[in-house]
């Protein structure tokens, strides 16, 4: 299970002050389906609801893609791609010899980005996984039109075998297209919003194609959600939600998520959507930001240490590295680093993290630690369950609906109007 370390907030308040009563009420609201947006809480049982037949279908599709194609093009935006990309970059930062390349497109409107990706794709065999509940979101819809054309040019009538649609079970433009064209479909559950959907086919199919063990992901998630149902201040989700809400009420309005693993970058992007879209409404909410450590200490470190005291930071760490590395000895010590010779790089990194934590706390930045046993499938699943549950509890504690996103629609309306979309 994920563990939360609150020692880094003790200089700012007594952890006994945390409002666990509010966390308990929020948790009960969530589980009893009495809170706002309760029709989008299906993610709580999502891993348990994945039937063996659905998992077999996902694995079968993934195996077909892996056996015949050099690449999978994943088309989606927001929750339709961030979780999968976060998982793949965290768990498979180096592609295996037999693993297809995974490309993500449809998350913007840049012609340069599209052309750059097409150049990388080249003339290799590829499949497409288009992910959209409605099929009407402009960015992925435009990308999908382009790739449908490419597939038809490349494979002719067999193109339909290379398209996998992850969409609504019954309705929507994409579902209608899939039914008429004969594409294989996977379901985005009606009661699960995009940012909470990574443990469905939305995330599992691209992950499986990348070579990730999705059975372990699903089975771990089942057990993790059971463990996180603990109704006690010992629940790490309660601890995290209560701590960040307490800090917010005391002027810490920006949360910086950091990790000392560069492969965590897109997990941080997923986290930013999860928390930003869930909590940022009604004129309130903690602003989610992220840094990559130690690299960003040499770009953002100054601001964190000495800038406005509106910051809190949350640091994700993995207890054990996947592989170790020992600093070598060099005769004559020309670079003055022999004092580190024989030491494990992981230990040096841990020391650096402790030094940074102490410095930031002394500079007025509270620190919340989140530790995960290992950077593997089980660790990933545990982290997803933890962050999702803590986010929902934190949202209810702040008095907002953590499952809607009315502000997202504002830009869409303006954009469609300016582009001349027919009513």
Which domains can be identified in the chain, with CATH numbers? 3-37+220-398 (3.40.50.10490), 42-214 (3.40.50.10490)
Q: Is 412 a catalytic residue?
A: yes
Task: Give the pLDDT of residue 211.
Answer: 97
Task: Give the pLDDT of residue 51.
Answer: 82
Q: Is 277 a catalytic residue?
A: yes
Res. 417: pLDDT tops 90: no
Q: What is the mean pLDDT of residues 112-139?
A: 96
Structure-token pair, residue 401: 């609906």
Run of H or E including 414: helix 408-419
Task: Give the pLDDT of residue 235.
Answer: 98
Band (20; pLDDT cuts 50, 70, 90): very high
Alpha helices (H) in 33-125, listed in sequence order: 46-49, 52-68, 82-91, 111-121
Q: What is the pLDDT of residues 222-272, one digit of tens each?
A: 999 999 999 999 999 999 999 999 999 999 999 999 999 999 999 999 999
Per-residue CA distances from 212 to 10, 283, 381, 404 (Å) = 39, 40, 12, 30
The Cα 124–Cα 333 span in angstroms is: 49
Catalytic residue among 149, 412, 417, 421: 412
Q: Is 161 exposed, middle or buried (0-12, 13-18, 19+ CB in 10 A)?
A: middle
Q: What percent of the chain has pLDDT over 90?
A: 92
Task: Give the pLDDT of residue 239.
Answer: 98
Q: What is the pLDDT of residues 44-70, one digit of tens each?
A: 999 999 988 899 999 999 999 999 999
Catalytic residue among 269, 277, 313, 377: 277
Task: Please report the beta strands in 205-353, taking only residues with DSSP state E, as ranges in sequence order.
Answer: 254-259, 287-292, 311-320
Band (411; pLDDT cuts 50, 70, 90): confident
Band (407; pLDDT cuts 50, 70, 90): confident
Q: What is the pLDDT of residues 341-355, one digit of tens each?
A: 999 999 999 999 999
Res. 421: pLDDT tops 90: no
Report pTM: 0.96
Q: What is the pLDDT of residues 361-381, one digit of tens each?
A: 999 999 999 999 999 999 999
Res. 409: pLDDT tops 80: no
Nearest to 353 by CA among 293, 274, 414, 280: 293
Per-chain mean pLDDT for the chain: 96
Q: Is 421 a catalytic residue?
A: no
């Amino acid at each position: 299970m994920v563990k939360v370390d609150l020692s880094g907030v003790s200089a700012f308040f007594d952890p006994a002050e945390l409002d666990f009563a509010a966390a308990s009420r929020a948790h009960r609201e969530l589980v009893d389906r009495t809170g706002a947006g309760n029709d989008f809480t299906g993610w709580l049982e999502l891993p348990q609801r994945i039937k063996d037949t659905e998992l077999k279908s996902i694995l079968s599709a993934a195996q077909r893609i892996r056996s015949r194609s050099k690449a999978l093009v994943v088309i989606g935006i927001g929750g339709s791609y961030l979780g999968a990309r976060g998982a793949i970059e965290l768990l498979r930062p180096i592609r295996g010899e037999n693993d297809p390349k995974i490309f993500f497109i449809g998350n913007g409107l840049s012609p340069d980005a599209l052309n750059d990706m097409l150049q990388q794709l080249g003339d290799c065999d590829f499949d497409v996984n288009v992910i959209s509940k409605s099929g009407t979101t402009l960015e992925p819809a435009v990308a999908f039109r382009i790739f449908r054309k490419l597939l038809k040019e490349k494979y002719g009538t067999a193109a339909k075998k290379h398209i996998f649609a992850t969409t609504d079970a019954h309705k929507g433009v994409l579902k209608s297209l899939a039914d008429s064209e004969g594409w294989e479909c996977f379901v985005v559950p009606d009661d699960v919003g995009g940012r909470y959907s990574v443990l469905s086919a939305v995330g599992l199919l691209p992950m499986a194609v990348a070579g990730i063990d999705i059975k372990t992901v699903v089975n771990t998630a089942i057990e993790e959600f059971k463990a996180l149902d603990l109704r006690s201040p010992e629940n790490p989700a309660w601890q995290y939600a209560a701590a960040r809400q307490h800090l917010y009420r005391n002027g810490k309005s920006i949360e910086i998520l950091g990790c000392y693993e560069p492969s965590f970058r897109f997990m941080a992007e997923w986290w930013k959507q999860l928390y930003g879209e869930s909590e940022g409404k009604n004129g309130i909410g903690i602003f989610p930001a992220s840094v990559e450590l130690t690299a960003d200490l040499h770009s953002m470190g100054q601001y964190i240490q000495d800038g406005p005291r509106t910051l809190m930071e949350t640091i994700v760490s993995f207890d054990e590295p996947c592989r170790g590395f020992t600093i070598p000895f060099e005769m004559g010590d020309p670079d003055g680093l022999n004092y580190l010779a024989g030491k494990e790089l992981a230990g040096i990194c841990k020391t650096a993290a402790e030094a940074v934590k102490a410095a930031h706390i002394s500079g007025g930045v509270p620190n919340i630690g989140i530790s995960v046993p290992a950077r593997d499938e089980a660790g990933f699943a545990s982290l997803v369950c933890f962050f999702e549950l803590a986010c929902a509890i934190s949202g209810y504690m702040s008095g907002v609906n953590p499952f809607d996103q009315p502000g997202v629609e504002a830009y869409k309306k303006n954009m469609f109007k300016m582009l001349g979309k027919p009513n």
